[in-house]
Chain A
Amino acid sequence: CPRAVNVDLQTDAMLQVDISDALSERDKVKFTVHTKSTLPNFKQNEFSVVRQHEEFIWLHDSFVENEEYAGYIIPPAPPRPDFDASREKLQKLGEGEGSMTKEEFTKMKQELEAEYLAIFKKTVAMHEVFLCRVAAHPVLRKDLNFHVFLEYNQDLSVRGKNKKEKLEDFFKNVVKSADGVLVAGVKDVDDFFEHEKTFLLEYHNRVKDASAKSDRMIRSHKSKNLLNPIASSLYTLGTQDSTDLCKFFLKVSELFEKTRKIEARIAADEDLKLADLLKYYLRESQAAKDLLYRRSRALVDYENANKALDKARAKNRDVLQAETSQQLCCHKFEKISESAKQELIDFKTRRVAAFRKNLVELAELELKHAKGNLQLLQGCLGILKGNT
């Protein structure tokens, strides 16, 4: 499974998932989810279904709501495909067609189409990464809903939560943030978790900031498409000039056309290797925080159950009930703690690997493009200096 995040594949039986195709329709994207598996519960070894974004969300939410998975970092849901900005730009271009030359229009159209394509590729990648993470997880890969998602070739009919469910979500989030304060305050007895809590709280905020700043920087980089009008003005000057300068202008215009394309590639690569990386780890670190929160809740429940048991024993009433409840809470808490520890260790491993891969690739691409630019510039300079 390729793309932005390096995922650990621990397999007892083979399960490989990818998005083999995608179709962008007017207001939705249709992903073709392709599965190859030797797991016995599937009818075939290889099959495909078509899914939309809401179905991915349904799957993600079903994991979150499943008590059994309380001790795992739930792979973050892919963001909603958002072509609004791109579509708006294409529309504006269409409206302004009359006010520009045919060449300018064609050029801009090509650029915007490339942008649309880039966004499309990204959303495919992010949906795929989600599925790969699930498929790689030793427990989640066995989830029934996941198998239904992969195999059931009919519509899952989960489009759009109804009003009641949306309201429930809203309240859940409110409670969570109130508890978030609680979590942050209580010092954990276990050093490992205490460290993780401190680390994650700060890390998450820093990643959030870095993600926002990298987005802004890359947006600025994209708007250097201003080389376009410069190149075309120089071209016009070149065609109009009767002096020596005409060759000069034409050469420089040609140069800027080429360097502009490289600049666009640089922005796109930075987006992919840096911005997407940060965005992903923003979501994953949130998922890790959610895990810690769930563990804290379990701990609180456990402590409350202990208190209740003491009370019951003191009053000698409902002791058995209290004992059972306490045991359940204890068991739940210990189970979560055990898996959470492993999850957090894996999280670190994945994070380090992903950053390494992306930073190396980023540097290599930046170098490649800078060298490309340099070559173009030096080539042009050589010709121009020879001319004078």
Chain B
Amino acid sequence: AQAGTPLFLVAQDLTLFCICVNVQSQPASLAAEDISTNSNGPKQDSLFDDDPEDLFAEATEEVSLDSPERDVLLSDGPSPAITPITPPTSVITPRIGHTHDDMFTHSSFDEIEEEEGGDSFDIHISVSDPEKVGEYMTSISLFKRNEFAVKRRFSDFLGLHSKLASKYLHIGYIVPPAPEKSIVGMTKVKVGKEDQSSNEFVEKRRSALERYLMRTVKHPILLKDPDVLQFLESSELPRAVSTQALSSAGLLRMVNKAADAVNKMTIKMNESDAWFEEKQQHFENLDVQLRKLHTSVESLVCHRKELSVNTAQFAKSAAMLGNSEDHTALSRALSQLAEVEEKIDQLHQDQANADFYLFSELLGDYVRLLTAVKGVFDHRMKTWQKWQDSQMLLQKKREAEAKLQFTNKPDKLQQAKDEIKELEGKVQQGERDFEQISKTIRKEVSRFEKERVKDFKTIIIKYLESLVQTQQQLIKYWEAFLPEAKAIS
């Protein structure tokens, strides 16, 4: 536990991530691509497997250690368990490069509605290895250039999310939550420990940021938001003045507060539209199940790592046994058994990575996404409440005005009439807002569900393929060993 280092945590996030984005414009009529795991979508050249350093050459940004911004850690939500994960190797292809985008390649935005224009874009974002300078690099330009990169800090991502959340959540848009902060992990990185667990933490974060960005830019509205464009494009991002970076845990707190406020109201919303009730129930059930599954998969990751460790130990022990065996052929076979077990240990590690990066993180992402979904439903309730409140107030004012009619107070009467006029406007606005948010949520939910189906299908298939690969390797190893065992005489 890192209990002894509270002071240290207030220091700046000194990790720099580079994000490279490639944009290919597609005509609107292009049909959705088949997401196969071998191809990288159309016209995707090998932009990134060359020396990535070139992309960094222009982005020489100085990081001022005296910057007023402090990465205040608001999140007291659960920090992700830092379990030893070796950076993905054979199961998940290298970080820098287009192949990594397969997970989240989105080949066309057919879902963009007519009114928003028919352009669709192939957008690939990759977040690459952090340098210990301070910033992540991310970039996308819709119209100016096809591909470039900028550097951003982790807190910049949180800042972006916070802006988007404050702009769009309350009108019904499902804003993808940003990755969690993690106290334990960050401390290790700050200390400059180059050990495996801090590398793993960085990789985990990098991967999470990539998925976060991809989800954000896949949203047709958010993609066009000036904050998003600035985030992706401009080489110098103004440091967020507000230090209230909302992590998804912070968001959850906000949502929960809103939910509590709603619950405390005695007025029960008259749900005229069964669709909303049904959907809310559906998301509630989904949330419960996904959390359960997520916990189970996290356990699986843990146990597979334990198995890996124990297999490695057995391998060493078997090698020693082989050394001490004085029958030559048996000695050789035992040494080979030790080698097989060593290779199997590596397989377990790779599989544990797949368990985590594919399966577990997918579930974690969706658990967090559902928080945002619940949030918009709650905002709709609040919107309705606001409208109702205006209506009630209008009613009261009308009653008051009626009474004033019988008194001889022309000034007060006029004031009352003015107030009523204003309130009538408010009520109308309230109704419009409510209708608008309801409409938006319907659209959003439909898009969200489509994405969910696609995400789960793609990733589950990828995960099963990782399992297939593991079995194929196992077969290879044991087939090689069998004749050695038979050769003992």
Task: Give chain A's interface residues, CB within 8 Å of chain B.
Answer: 195, 199, 202-203, 206-207, 209-210, 212-214, 216-217, 219-221, 223-224, 226-227, 229-230, 233-234, 236-237, 240-245, 248, 252, 255, 259, 348, 351-352, 355-356, 359-360, 362-364, 366-367, 370-371, 373-374, 377-378, 380-381, 384-385, 388
Contact = CB atoms under 8 A, between A and B. Distances in A.
B482 A364 contact: yes
B320 interface: yes
A367 B457 contact: no
Contact of A370 (B327, B465, B474): B474
A221 B348 CA distance: 11
A288 to B, nearest CB: 13
Nearest to A225: B303
A373 B488 contact: no
A381 B461 contact: yes
B146 interface: no
Contact of A384 (B320, B457, B475): B457
A193 B180 CA distance: 66
B347 to A, nearest CB: 11
Contacts of A213: 310, 313-314, 316-318
B314 A214 contact: yes
Contacts of A214: 314, 317
B481 interface: yes
B478 A377 contact: no
Interface of B: 282, 285-286, 289-290, 292-293, 296-297, 299-300, 303-304, 306-307, 310-311, 313-314, 316-318, 320-321, 323-327, 329-330, 333-334, 337, 449, 452-453, 456-457, 460-461, 464-465, 467-468, 471-472, 474-475, 478-479, 481-482, 485-486, 488-489
A363 B300 contact: no
A233 B485 contact: no
Contact of B464 (A209, A367, A370, A381): A381
Contact of A359 (B293, B300, B333): B333
Nearest to A221: B307
Contact of A210 (B300, B304, B318): B318
A388 B461 contact: yes
Contact of A207 (B321, B333, B471, B482): B321
A220 B306 contact: yes
Nearest to A231: B296
A385 B461 CA distance: 8
A381 B461 CA distance: 7
Given A210-B318, A359-B333, A366-B478, A377 B488 contact: no
A133 B298 CA distance: 48
B471 to A, nearest CB: 4
Nearest to B487: A356
Given A203-B325, A359-B333, A378 B468 contact: yes
Given A223-B303, A248-B456, 11 more contacts: A217-B310, A229-B296, A230-B293, A233-B292, A243-B453, A244-B457, A245-B452, A352-B329, A370-B475, A374-B472, A377-B467
Specify which of B310, B327, B449, B479 lies most central, judged by the most chain A CB atoms within 10 Å of its CB: B310
Nearest to B359: A230
Contacts of B474: 366, 370
Contacts of B311: 217, 220
A366 B480 CA distance: 12
Contact of A252 (B304, B464, B479): B464
A203 B467 CA distance: 38
A292 to B, nearest CB: 15
Nearest to B338: A210
A363 B303 contact: no
A209 B320 contact: yes
Contacts of A374: 468, 471-472, 475
Given A220-B303, A233-B289, A252 B460 contact: yes
Given A245-B452, A252-B464, A199 B324 contact: yes
B91 to A, nearest CB: 14
Contact of B478 (A210, A245, A370): A370
Contacts of A363: 478, 481-482, 485
B317 A230 contact: no
A60 B313 CA distance: 34
Nearest to A195: B326
A384 B334 CA distance: 41
B288 to A, nearest CB: 9
Given A244-B457, A370-B475, A360 B310 contact: no
A385 B471 CA distance: 19
Contacts of B475: 367, 370-371, 374
Nearest to A243: B453
Contacts of A221: 307
Given A210-B318, A363-B481, A245 B303 contact: no
Contacts of B325: 203
Contacts of A362: 485
The 5 A-B pairs with the shortest beta carbon distances in the complex, nearest first, are: A220-B307, A359-B485, A233-B293, A356-B488, A374-B471
Given A206-B321, A223-B303, A233-B296, A367 B479 contact: yes
Nearest to A364: B482
Contact of B285 (A240, A255, A259, A373): A240
A355 B461 contact: no
A203 B304 CA distance: 31
Nearest to B301: A226
B300 A230 contact: yes
A248 B460 contact: yes
A268 B337 CA distance: 18
B453 A240 contact: no
Contacts of B293: 230, 233-234, 237
A360 B483 CA distance: 8
17 contacts: A213-B313, A217-B314, A221-B307, A227-B300, A233-B296, A234-B293, A245-B452, A245-B453, A351-B330, A355-B330, A359-B488, A363-B478, A371-B475, A373-B471, A374-B471, A374-B475, A384-B461
A377 B461 CA distance: 10
Specify which of B292, B300, B326, B334 lies most central, judged by the most chain A CB atoms within 10 Å of its CB: B326
B464 to A, nearest CB: 5
Contacts of A366: 474, 478
Given A352-B327, A374-B471, A381-B464, A388 B457 contact: yes
Given A226-B296, A356-B330, A360-B485, A236 B289 contact: yes
A343 to B, nearest CB: 16
A388 B318 CA distance: 46
B341 to A, nearest CB: 8
A381 B463 CA distance: 10
A199 B314 contact: no
A216 B468 contact: no
Contacts of B486: 356, 360
A233 B292 CA distance: 7
A266 B314 CA distance: 16
A380 B465 CA distance: 10
Nearest to A361: B485
A149 B464 CA distance: 56
A352 B488 contact: yes
A210 B286 contact: no
Specify which of B307, B321, B456, B464 lies most central, judged by the most chain A CB atoms within 10 Å of its CB: B321
B324 A206 contact: yes
B303 A224 contact: yes
Contacts of A229: 292, 296
Contacts of A243: 449, 452-453
